[in-house]
């Protein structure tokens, strides 16, 4: 086995994983550190997809802002019998391409004092206070500071948010491109909680995603059929074609963080909102706060989770209710949106919202259902 040490390779800092969190931290570190850093990722290719989140102009979202592809002033949830629309005052719903953002960060890191190794970390060790990483090519790196973004492990029976999204181009101006449709529940519910997510980029083009909350991931053909049926039903007179597609399966429950080596970041540090799968803006906040701590107090390098303890508990109760009573999902999600202003909803989705917002949500939810779930969670 060959051994690469800091003395001949002089990496003081290593980041395991060059995904959203790893690249963002790497980008900040090349700006603030003079010594070389190394990012290690087992993937050579990461699929492009959209990251959507709420932006209110805060500093932690400055880095991705130039790459925003589209902004929406309003967002909606549709059920069989109603539509709830909210408009932000300070917040807008925005999206960007993961490939465009990641490629920018990657180039900046590699053009500066950063290296990205395309290897898997297969083992970690600490001996006499020195950390070392074993790589899939058989080499070993000795490192002073390690940040770890390997995602949590998932056990059997986990609830996933799984989806296929099709970017479609229509012949006619069929979309209202001022409003993002977060959830349209007017679709078959037989395979779990199912909704269509519509991000209209223009009057003629949109990402249309069929999303399911359940323990069983379905064949891609199933989601594509749902999207086709949805477009057919809602826009029967238009011709349309698929330009590209994206897919994903995000575990929401039964997650066990890998034993962190160094400082955990990203999903590994619980950045994801358990009930919704949103993690992007939480990761941006997490990394911004971490970078400040690295600069000022190196001994206190911990990161905040994507939500407060109370929000975590609320998310868990939400998931408990949804798994036991999936037929109530349209009512529950629409009531949450209805109980809040646009900005309050965006704040809740982004994590660490004020107590008054949480109180409004709790007041709006079906009492019996949520009280039983809260008791179940407390004693489980
Ligand atoms: C398709 C999809 C769509 C999403 N859309 C949204 C959205 O719209 N809004 C939102 O807020 N969130 C979204 N998310 C959730 C979240 O923002 C992303 O999952 C985000 O990429 C998480 O960042 P991360 O750095 O923690 O993990 P990742 O980006 O997954 O990065 C972890 C990296 O670690 C590497 N790795 C793992 N193990 C090893 C190892 N042993 N050795 C070396 N490397 C290793 C992996 O290859 C990976 O590149 C989406 C997720 C997916 C998958």
In terms of pLDDT, which residue wins out, 131 or 72?
A: 72
Question: What residue ranges line ligand 1, CB within 6 angstroms?
Answer: 16-22, 40-43, 46, 49-53, 120-121, 149-151, 246, 248, 250, 266-267, 271, 277-280, 283
User: Residue 239 Cα, ligand 1 centroid: separation in angstroms?
Assistant: 35
- Out of 23, 28, 42, give the residue to mutate to test ligand 1, the one with the largest number of ligand atoms within 8 Å of its CB: 42
Residue 210: beta bridge partners?
A: 164, 196
User: Residue 19 Cα, ligand 1 centroid: separation in angstroms?
Assistant: 6
% residues pLDDT > 70 (the chain):
95
User: In the β-sheet with 92-97, what is the strand arrangement from edge to edge?
Assistant: 50-55, 92-97, 70-72
pLDDT tens figures, 199-226: 999 999 999 999 999 999 999 999 999 9
- Tell me what pLDDT residue 301 has: 73
Per-residue pLDDT at 269 exceeds 60: yes
pLDDT band at residue 296, thresholds of 50, 70 and 90? low
What average pLDDT does the segment 247-256 reach?
Answer: 92
Per-residue pLDDT at 150 exceeds 70: yes
The dihedral through the CA atoms of 309, 18, 301, 96 has a sign that is negative
User: Residue 212 Cα, ligand 1 centroid: separation in angstroms?
Assistant: 19
45 in helix, strand or coil?
A: coil
pTM: 0.94
- Tell me what pLDDT residue 34 has: 72
Of 319, 306, 209, 294, nearest in space to 257 by CA:
306
- Tell me what pLDDT residue 2 has: 38
User: Residue 210 Cα, ligand 1 centroid: separation in angstroms?
Assistant: 20
Q: Where are the alpha helices (DSSP H) in the chain?
A: 6-9, 20-32, 98-111, 220-234, 280-296, 309-324, 329-339, 342-350, 355-364, 367-379
CA–CA distance, 336 with 352 (Å, rounded to integer): 16
CA–CA distance, 107 with 347 (Å, rounded to integer): 32
pLDDT band at residue 138, thresholds of 50, 70 and 90? very high
- Tell me what pLDDT residue 10 has: 56
pLDDT band at residue 299, thresholds of 50, 70 and 90? low
pLDDT tens figures, 342-354: 999 999 999 999 9
pLDDT band at residue 260, thresholds of 50, 70 and 90? confident
Per-residue pLDDT at 6 exceeds 90: no
User: Residue 93 Cα, ligand 1 centroid: separation in angstroms?
Assistant: 20
User: Distances from the Cα of 229 to the Cαs of 232, 234, 235, 341, in angstroms?
Assistant: 5, 9, 10, 32
């Amino acid at each position: 086995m060959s051994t690469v040490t800091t003395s001949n390779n002089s990496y003081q800092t290593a980041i395991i994983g060059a995904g959203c969190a790893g690249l963002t931290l790497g980008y900040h570190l090349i700006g603030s550190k003079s010594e070389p850093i190394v990012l290690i990722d087992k993937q050579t290719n990461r699929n492009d997809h959209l990251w959507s989140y709420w932006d209110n102009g805060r500093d932690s979202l400055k880095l991705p802002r130039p790459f925003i592809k589209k902004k929406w002033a309003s967002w909606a949830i549709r059920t069989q019998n109603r539509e709830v629309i909210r408009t932000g005052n300070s917040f807008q719903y925005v999206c960007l391409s993961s490939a465009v953002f990641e490629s920018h960060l990657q180039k900046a890191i590699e053009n500066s004092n950063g290296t990205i190794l395309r290897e898997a970390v297969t083992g970690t060790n600490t001996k006499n206070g020195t950390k070392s990483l074993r790589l899939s090519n058989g080499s070993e790196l000795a490192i002073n500071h390690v940040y770890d973004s390997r995602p949590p492990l998932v056990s059997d029976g986990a609830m996933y948010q799984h989806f296929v999204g099709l970017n479609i181009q229509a012949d006619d101006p069929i979309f209202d491109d001022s409003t993002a449709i977060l959830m349209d529940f007017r679709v078959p519910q037989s395979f779990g909680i199912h909704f269509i997510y519509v991000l209209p980029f223009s009057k003629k083009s949109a990402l249309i995603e069929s999303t399911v909350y359940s323990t069983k991931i379905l064949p891609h053909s199933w989601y594509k059929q749902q999207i086709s049926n949805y477009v057919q039903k809602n826009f029967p007179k238009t011709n349309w074609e698929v330009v590209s597609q994206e897919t994903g399966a995000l575990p929401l429950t039964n997650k066990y963080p890998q034993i962190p080596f160094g400082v955990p970041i990203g999903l590994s540090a619980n950045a994801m909102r358990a009930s919704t799968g949103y993690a992007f803006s939480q990761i941006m906040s997490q990394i911004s706060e971490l970078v400040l701590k690295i600069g000022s107090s190196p001994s206190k390098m911990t990161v905040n989770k994507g939500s407060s303890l109370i929000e975590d508990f609320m998310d868990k109760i939400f998931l408990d209710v949804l798994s036991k009573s999936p037929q109530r999902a349209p009512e529950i999600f629409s009531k949450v949106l209805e109980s809040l202003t646009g900005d309050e909803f965006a704040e809740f989705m982004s994590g660490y919202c004020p107590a008054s917002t949480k109180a409004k949500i709790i007041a709006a939810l079906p009492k019996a259902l949520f009280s039983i779930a809260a008791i179940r969670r407390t004693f489980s």
